[in-house]
């Protein structure tokens, strides 16, 4: 794979190879969990399983993709600083994930908490060359959605670190971690997927500059409302102040997702001659 890539990108496959190894680790731990373990040992293994799959498999895969995805969305070359920091973040992302797992397996919550904070630091370091984008006006939906997704990942990680520090048992930590599913599933995974699709689909459809401009214009419609509805809805879901507020938050998310899908579905493919 690396031989087919330009020299600047030859280290990108490392992210995907290591993330695949974490998937294997997570699956192995899942196999041990199926043996019917009891007590805190079960919850220690469960936390290590979550760490391998969420931070190791999904997290490192996304990190490697973001190095090239963000400049691609902006239709610019990969900045040297972004490339350098992206590659430098890699060993810290790997090490922090391994320490999360080690802390769980050795019953050291403070070690896992420190590892989560280390992961956050490495992630922020990877993104830091692009922070200036947030000050620009008229950023495309793809960039705004991508940064929103990263914000929810960091919020989730911070919440997890606080739980590891303040809670007294792995059972409670895991119970609290399960409440992060909305942040990670909707805030992180869904938004980064929508951001990538809003850029990639117009590119794949092709049809020349005129058709591409038209498709991009369609994919940018109501971008602020789409982001506000989804993120406000998610906030209402996780606060869960009452059943009616929870349902209202879910309705906002569903409306935002429906509009996103309708806009993506309305993009016009290239005309065949």
Q: 10-residue block means of pLDDT along the chain (273 residues)? A: 56 92 94 84 93 95 91 80 90 97 95 97 93 79 93 95 93 88 92 90 76 81 93 92 91 94 83 59
Measured between alpha carbons, how far is 226 from 119 in angstroms, rounded to an integer? 29
Q: Can you give the pTM of this predicted structure?
A: 0.90
Task: Give the C-alpha separation, 52 to 74, whole Å.
Answer: 31
Q: Are 238 and 183 in contact (CB under 8 A)?
A: yes
Q: What is the pLDDT of residue 9?
A: 67
| CB 114, CB 160: distance < 8 Å | no
Q: How far apart are CA 146 and CA 129, in angstroms?
A: 15
Tokens, residue 172: 């409670």
Q: What pLDDT, on the 0 to 100 scale, is given for residue 117? A: 97
Give me the pLDDT at residue 271, please: 66
- pLDDT at 120 (0 to 100): 97
| Long-range contacts of the stretch 164-172 (C-beta < 8 A, 24+) | 164/109, 164/110, 164/112, 164/113, 164/116, 165/109, 165/110, 165/113, 167/109, 169/40, 169/43, 170/40, 170/43, 170/44, 170/46, 170/47, 170/104, 170/107, 170/109, 171/40, 171/43
For 40, 123, 126, 247, the CA distances from 112, given in Å and listed in that order, are 15, 16, 21, 34
Q: What is the pLDDT of residue 63?
A: 94
> What pLDDT was estimated at residue 270?
65
Looking up tokens 């760490």 gives 51
């Amino acid at each position: 794979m690396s031989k087919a890539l330009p020299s600047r990108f030859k280290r990108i496959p490392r992210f995907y190879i290591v993330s695949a190894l974490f998937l294997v680790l997570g699956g192995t731990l899942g196999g041990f969990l199926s043996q019917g373990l009891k007590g805190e040992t079960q919850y220690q293994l469960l936390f290590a399983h979550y760490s391998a799959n969420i931070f190791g498999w999904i997290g490192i895969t996304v990190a490697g993709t973001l190095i090239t995805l963000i400049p691609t969305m902006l239709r610019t070359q990969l900045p040297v600083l972004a490339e350098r920091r992206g590659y430098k973040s890699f060993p810290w992302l790997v090490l922090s994930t391994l320490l999360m797992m080690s802390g769980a397996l050795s019953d050291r919550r403070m070690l896992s908490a420190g590892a989560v904070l280390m992961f956050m630091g490495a992630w922020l370091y990877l993104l830091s060359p692009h922070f200036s984008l947030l000050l620009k006006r008229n950023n495309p939906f793809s960039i705004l959605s991508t940064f929103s997704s990263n914000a929810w990942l960091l919020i989730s990680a911070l919440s997890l670190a606080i739980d590891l520090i303040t809670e007294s048992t792995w059972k409670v930590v895991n119970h609290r971690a399960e409440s992060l599913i909305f942040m990670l599933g909707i805030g992180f995974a869904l938004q980064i997927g929508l951001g990538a699709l809003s850029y990639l689909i117009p590119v794949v459809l092709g049809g020349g500059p005129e058709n591409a401009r038209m498709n991009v214009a369609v994919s940018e419609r109501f971008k602020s409302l789409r982001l506000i509805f989804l993120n406000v809805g998610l906030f209402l879901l996780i606060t869960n102040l009452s059943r009616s507020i929870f349902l209202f938050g879910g309705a906002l998310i569903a409306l935002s997702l429906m509009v996103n899908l309708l806009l993506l579905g309305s993009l016009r493919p290239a005309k065949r001659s």
